C-alpha cells in the first residue's frame, strides 16, 4: 500500500470514536498498520465496551487496510507494555504513537473531588506517559519514531469548570516538549495538536441563547475528520524537523502556538523588598499580563 506513512505501524489511543477514530482511519488509508486502542468507556470514564474499537478496525479492513484492537486501559503502566508488544507481535515494529484518549469530569473547582481530579489526570497525562515510555525504547533502538499528543485550548487558554482537564492538557505539553528534547538524538519527534472538533467531549455545550446556538452550529462543522490530516502529516517522515511544537486545527485553519517566554522584566541593583515591588511591579507589568480569558473569547470569530 502506498501513502505518506506507508509501511509504518501506528498505535492510536481513544481510537474507537471521534478524533482518534478519524486519525486511525486516515493513517490506514495512508498506508500505516494501526493498533486501535479503546476501552469503550463513557465520556466520564465509566464502563467498557469492545464495540467501538472493533468497529474502527472493521472499517479499516473493509477499506483494505491492516488493523488490530486493544481494549486495555492505558492508565495502567503494565498495559502500555502489553499494547506495544501486541503491535510488535502483529506488525513487527512500531513507528507512531498518537496519544488521544481522554475523559471529562467537568465541575467548578471548589466542588471538584479527588476522583474528579485524579481520574482525569490518570487517563490523559499518566496514560500519555505510560504509552510514550512503553514505545521509547523501541524508537531509540530503531533510531526513528514519532509522537503526536492531543492537548487542548482549554489548557492553553482556559475554560470554566475544567481545572483537572486544563492541568492534564498543559501537562501533556510539558511531556511532549521533554520527549522532544530528550529523544532528538535518536531521530524521534514529538508534537502536540490542540483540536477544535465536534465530538462527544463538547456535545454538552449549552445551546439556549442565540449566541450559544450559533457557537454550537460553528462547532458542528468542525468534524474529527478535519483534525486527522495534520496528525498524519506530523507522523510522516515528510514532517522531519518539526518537533516540540504546539499546533491547532480549527475547521480549515491550522495554527502554530507560541510557547511561554519572558515578555517583560524589571530590575533593581539594590534588590527587591515587598514594599518596592508594591511601588513598581503592577504598573510595570500591567500592560503585559495575560487576561483571564476563555478559549471562546480568544477564538471569537467564525471558523473558516
* Residues with catalytic function: 165
**Pairing between β-strand 33-37 and β-strand 67-70 as defined by DSSP bridges:** parallel
Q: Which three cell numbers stand for residue 254?
A: 491550522
Q: Considering only CA atoms, which of 288, 293, 289, 257 is closest in space to residue 158?
A: 293
Q: Considering only CA atoms, which of 148, 142, 122 is closest in space to residue 236?
A: 148
Half-sphere exposure of 178 (CA within 13 A, CB side): 11
Q: Is the dihedral of CA 124, 125, 127, 131 positive or negative?
A: positive
End-to-end CA distance of the chain: 33
Question: What secondary structure letter does DSSP report for 143?
Answer: T
Q: Report d(CA 17, CA 8) in Å as an integer.
A: 22
User: Distances in Å between the alpha carbon of 60 and those of 16, 25, 63, 67, 68?
Assistant: 12, 6, 5, 7, 9
Q: Which three cell numbers stand for residue 78?
A: 503494565
User: Which ranges of the chain does DSSP label H, i.e. alpha helix?
Assistant: 18-29, 51-62, 77-91, 114-121, 127-142, 153-156, 163-183, 210-220, 228-235, 274-285, 295-298
98, 23 contact by CB (below 8 A) = yes
Amino acid at each position: 500500500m502506498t501513502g505518506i506513512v506507508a509501511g509504518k505501524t501506528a498505535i492510536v489511543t481513544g481510537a474507537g470514536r471521534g478524533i482518534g477514530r478519524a486519525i486511525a482511519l486516515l493513517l490506514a488509508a495512508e498506508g500505516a498498520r494501526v493498533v486501535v486502542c479503546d476501552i469503550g468507556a463513557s465520556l466520564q470514564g465509566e464502563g467498557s465496551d469492545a464495540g467501538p474499537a472493533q468497529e474502527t478496525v472493521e472499517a479499516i479492513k473493509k477499506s483494505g487496510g491492516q488493523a488490530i484492537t486493544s481494549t486495555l486501559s492505558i492508565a495502567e503502566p503494565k498495559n502500555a507494555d502489553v499494547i506495544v508488544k501486541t503491535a510488535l507481535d502483529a506488525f513487527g515494529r512500531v513507528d507512531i504513537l498518537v496519544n488521544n484518549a481522554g475523559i471529562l469530569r467537568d465541575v467548578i473547582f471548589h466542588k471538584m473531588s479527588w476522583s474528579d481530579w485524579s481520574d482525569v489526570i490518570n487517563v490523559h497525562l499518566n496514560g500519555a506517559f505510560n504509552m510514550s515510555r512503553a514505545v521509547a525504547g523501541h524508537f531509540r533502538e530503531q533510531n526513528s519514531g514519532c509522537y503526536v499528543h492531543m492537548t487542548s485550548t482549554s489548557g492553553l487558554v482556559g475554560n470554566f469548570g475544567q481545572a483537572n482537564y486544563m492541568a492534564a492538557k498543559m501537562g501533556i505539553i510539558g511531556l511532549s516538549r521533554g520527549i522532544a528534547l530528550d529523544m532528538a538524538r535518536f531521530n524521534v519527534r514529538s508534537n502536540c495538536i490542540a483540536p477544535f472538533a465536534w465530538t462527544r467531549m463538547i456535545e454538552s455545550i449549552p445551546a439556549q441563547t442565540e449566541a450559544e446556538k450559533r457557537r454550537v452550529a460553528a462547532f458542528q462543522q468542525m468534524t474529527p475528520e478535519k483534525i486527522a490530516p495534520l496528525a498524519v502529516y506530523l507522523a510522516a517522515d515528510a514532517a522531519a524537523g518539526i518537533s516540540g511544537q504546539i499546533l491547532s486545527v480549527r475547521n480549515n485553519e491550522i495554527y502554530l502556538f507560541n510557547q511561554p517566554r519572558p515578555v517583560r522584566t524589571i530590575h533593581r541593583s539594590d534588590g527587591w523588598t515587598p514594599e518596592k515591588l508594591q511601588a513598581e511591579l503592577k504598573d510595570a507589568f500591567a500592560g503585559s499580563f495575560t487576561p483571564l480569558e476563555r478559549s471562546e473569547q480568544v477564538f471569537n470569530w467564525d471558523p473558516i
